[in-house]
């Protein structure tokens, strides 16, 4: 089976089913066996639902015994029989939503989801086999993937190195062929960062294309969710499944009219011909630092080896017919000033309050009820109580706040306008830049200061702040064999076109190659 299923795509897997080469149970058991073999070393899977996955596989096999029934299932359900993984901050009915934190795993007080997040319901309706939850850093608040609930996840290409975060569990699982594809979340880089370190396609949709309801928030006004896959076609298929309006997420209202979720039609080998992409000045020339959601400092300086990898990777865009525009006026340092004016701090508590209200267990439907039931407090940064040395922000609800326009909406619109003005002025179709400012870091080797290494850091959270789509694609490898990721941003509500650019680049370069795994 290895020769058929290693690096298998959704399309190829369906071809195997159509030919009756394997049953869904056989395929599911193959993935479960790989998880049993490799998860002890790499630790991407936090909670495995072996029983549920096999039960679903048997049901699908039973429903598709005849050729006609099988053909009908494959036509109606785009992920029929496809084993996938879900990030641990995303609600699966009757499973624990740990959010990577031991606090939600306390015996007798677990955060057991009363229902599916909409994206999980969509995956199930599309026929996917959910293998379980993937590991993630506590509350998704890290650039790497070390959690109190599941320990450290290793990079599929070298277990000593970081897989990136905070969707690093999903990334390592997909890169290591422990699932066909997976779901991640992204507040400032958390799909694209691990996609870059694991030679995957990671797609961040236009905010509002996909519902985030049912996902434990880090900063709900910046949060988003999307697929991680080994190829662009699988990512496009998954995004078609994930997209949709949800009454629990106001930002999705009218999304189907803005961009119908029909993305595979954009996947053409010549999609880059005649297109123009700018290189953001503030990313390439940045020498500063930034604070993470928890107040930790991270460097934004572009490492020389990463700049070299970037210059090499964009040659693939040129070879596919695109023009790369480098100009100091393309998103200069003043653009960062506009981004910093977008304030989400006064509204942070609202996100977690709403999450517990709608997707918390009966025992606790609010942060206060959680504290009363368990004797533990949620971290202050989740509730807007400041980060680092920053003062706590007075908490308000966005929809009720008379200052919301000046605090959030107007600054966001101003930054988005500056982005769009640059695209229009230089006739650009998007931006291109490194998905990370540095290579994946060795997390095992001792550092000169005696502390663990930090990273891998990026300067891509600006995309979340203005709500436009972005995609990370395999862009080659560093000299040490670890992957480099290229990122392309696009125009709001033109996600299909962006996937087309990624597909054309993939078809021209074919950078991805599977990792060689170790069992220790």
Residues designated catalytic = 87, 166, 190
The three-state secondary structure class of 433 is strand
Report d(CA 409, CA 464) in Å as an integer: 14
How far apart are alpha carbons 419 and 334 in whole angstroms? 12
Buried b (16+ CB within 10 A) or exposed e, 474-508: bbbbeeeebbbbbbbbbbbbbbbbbbbbbbbbbbb
Coil vs helix vs strand at 19: coil
* Coil, strand or helix at 262: coil
**470-477 and 289-291 strand pairing:** unpaired
CA angle, 26 as apex, 112 and 517 as ends, to 5°? 80
Report d(CA 156, CA 133) in Å as an integer: 17
Query: What residue has token string 């596919």?
Result: 320
Tell me: cis bond preceding 255? Omega within 30 of 0 counts: no
Question: What CA–CA distance (Å, rounded) separates 45 from 39?
Answer: 7
Query: What CA–CA distance (Å, rounded) separates 141 from 136?
Result: 9
Give the orientation angle of helix 333-340 with respect to helix 410-425, to 10 degrees: 160
User: Among 295, 309, 157, 233, which residue's Cα sits nearest to residue 504?
Assistant: 233
Residue 267 buriedness (CB in 10 A; 0-12 / 13-18 / 19+)? buried
Are 214 and 117 a contacting pair, CB within 8 Å?
yes
Start-to-end CA distance of the chain, whole Å, equals 23
Q: How many CB atoms are located within 10 Å of the residue 375 CB?
A: 9
Q: Give dist(CA 299, CA 20) in Å, integer.
A: 52
Residues β-bridged to residue 18: none
Contacting residues for 7 by C-beta, under 8 A, at least 6 apart: 177, 230, 514
The CA distance from 27 to 80, in Å, is 12
Query: Which value, to the nearest 10 degrees, does the dihedral of the CA atoms of residues 427, 430, 433, 434 take?
Result: -170
Taking Cα atoms as reference points, which of 260, 297, 510, 274 lies closest to residue 390? Answer: 297
What is the C-alpha separation between 264 and 268, in angstroms, rounded? 9
Strands (E), 119-180: 129-134, 146-147, 151-152
User: In 3-state terms, what secondary structure has residue 166?
Assistant: coil
């Amino acid at each position: 089976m290895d020769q058929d299923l290693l690096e298998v795509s959704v399309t190829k897997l369906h071809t195997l089913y159509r030919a009756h080469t394997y049953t869904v149970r056989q395929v599911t058991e193959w993935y479960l066996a790989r998880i049993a073999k490799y998860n002890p070393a790499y630790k991407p899977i936090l909670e495995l639902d072996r029983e549920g996955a096999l039960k679903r596989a048997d049901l699908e096999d039973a429903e598709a015994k005849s050729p006609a029934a099988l053909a009908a299932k494959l036509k109606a359900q785009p992920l029929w029989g496809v084993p996938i993984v879900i990030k641990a901050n995303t609600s699966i009915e009757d499973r624990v939503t740990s959010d990577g934190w031991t606090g939600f795993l306390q015996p007798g007080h677990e955060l057991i989801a009363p229902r599916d997040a909409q994206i999980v319901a969509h995956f199930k309706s599309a026929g996917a086999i959910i293998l379980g939850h993937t590991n993630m850093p506590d509350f998704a608040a890290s650039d790497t993937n070390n959690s109190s609930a599941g320990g450290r996840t290793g990079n599929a290409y070298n277990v000593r190195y970081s897989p990136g975060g905070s969707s690093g569990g999903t990334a390592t699982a997909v890169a290591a062929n422990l699932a066909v594809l997976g779901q991640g979340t992204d507040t400032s880089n958390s799909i694209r960062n691990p996609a870059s370190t694991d030679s995957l396609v990671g797609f961040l949709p236009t905010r509002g294309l996909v519902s985030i309801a049912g996902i434990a928030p880090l900063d709900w006004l910046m949060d988003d969710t999307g697929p991680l896959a080994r190829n662009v076609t699988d990512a496009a298929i998954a995004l078609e499944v994930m997209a949709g309006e949800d009454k629990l997420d106001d930002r999705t209202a009218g999304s189907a009219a803005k961009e119908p979720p029909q993305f595979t039609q954009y996947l053409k080998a010549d999609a880059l011909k005649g297109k123009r992409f700018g290189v953001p000045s503030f990313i390439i020339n940045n020498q500063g630092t930034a604070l993470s959601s928890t107040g930790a400092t991270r460097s934004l300086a572009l490492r020389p080896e990463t700049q070299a990898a970037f210059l090499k990777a964009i040659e693939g865009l040129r070879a596919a017919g695109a023009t790369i525009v480098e100009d100091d006026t393309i998103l200069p340092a003043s653009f960062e000033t506009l981004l910093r004016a977008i304030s989400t701090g006064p509204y942070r508590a609202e996100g977690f309050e709403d999450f517990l209200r709608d997707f918390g267990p009966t025992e606790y439907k609010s942060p206060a009820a959680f504290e009363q039931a368990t004797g533990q407090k949620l971290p202050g940064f989740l509730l807007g109580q400041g980060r680092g040395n920053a003062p706590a922000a007075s908490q308000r609800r966005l929809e009720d706040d008379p200052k919301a326009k000046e605090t959030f909406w107007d600054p966001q619109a101003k930054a988005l306008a500056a982005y769009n003005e640059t695209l229009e002025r230089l006739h650009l179709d998007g931006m291109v830049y490194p998905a990370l400012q540095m290579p994946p870091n060795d997390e095992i080797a001792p550092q000169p200061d005696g502390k663990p290494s930090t990273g891998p850091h990026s300067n891509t959270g600006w995309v979340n702040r203005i709500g436009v789509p972005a995609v990370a694609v395999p862009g080659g490898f560093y000299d040490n064999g670890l992957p480099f990721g290229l990122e392309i941003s696009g125009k709001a509500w033109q996600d299909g076109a962006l996937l087309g650019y990624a597909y054309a680049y993939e078809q021209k370069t074919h950078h991805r190659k599977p990792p060689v795994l170790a069992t220790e």
